C-alpha cells in the first residue's frame, strides 16, 4: 500500500545547528515533492518544491534533496533558530494532478 513516513518523534536541536528531517515513501512515483511548515493553530505554509529530475533545491537557509531511487527526501535547515520551531510536512503529488498526499509531519524544537 502507499505510505509516506516522516520522523514521528519530535526533533530537538540546539540553536545554530543544522536540522535534518526525513520523508520516506513507498509505492509512489511522484513527479514532485513539496515541504510545508505549520505553526500551532495555523494552516500549512509552502516552503519548497522539488521535481523528480532535480537532486537538490535551496532557498536561503533551507535545502531539500530528492532521491527517487531511495524514495526519500531530506529537508535541512542550517544555522537553525528558535523561530524555526514548528511542524514540517512533506507532501507528494499523486498522479501529476495537483492532488497532494501529506505525511504526518515532524515537530522541530530549536532550543536557544
Contacts with another protein, residue ranges (CB under 8 A): 31-32, 34, 42-46, 49, 89, 93, 96-105
Q: Can you tell me the distance from the alpha carbon of 73 to that of 3, in angstroms, rounded to the nearest whole number?
A: 14
Separation of first and last alpha carbons in the chain: 41
Least distance (Å) from another protein to the CB of residue 71?
Answer: 19
Q: Which is nearer to another protein, 3 or 17 (CB)?
A: 3
Q: How far is CA 53 from CA 25, 37, 64, 72, in A?
A: 17, 23, 13, 14
Q: Which is nearer to another protein, 13 or 49 (CB)?
A: 49
103 three-state secondary structure: coil
Least distance (Å) from another protein to the CB of residue 87?
Answer: 10
Least distance (Å) from another protein to the CB of residue 82?
Answer: 23
Amino acid at each position: 500500500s502507499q505510505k509516506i513516513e516522516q520522523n514521528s518523534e519530535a526533533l530537538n536541536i540546539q540553536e545554530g545547528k543544522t536540522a535534518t528531517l526525513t520523508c520516506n515513501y513507498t509505492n509512489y512515483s511522484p513527479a514532485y515533492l513539496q515541504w510545508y511548515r505549520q505553526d500551532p493553530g495555523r494552516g500549512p505554509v509552502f516552503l519548497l518544491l522539488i521535481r523528480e529530475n532535480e537532486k537538490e533545491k535551496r532557498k536561503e537557509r533551507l535545502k531539500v534533496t530528492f532521491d527517487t531511487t531511495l524514495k526519500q527526501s531530506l529537508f535541512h535547515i542550517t544555522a537553525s533558530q528558535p523561530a524555526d520551531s514548528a511542524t514540517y510536512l512533506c507532501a507528494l503529488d499523486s498522479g501529476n494532478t495537483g492532488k497532494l498526499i501529506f505525511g504526518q509531519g515532524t515537530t522541530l524544537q530549536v532550543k536557544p
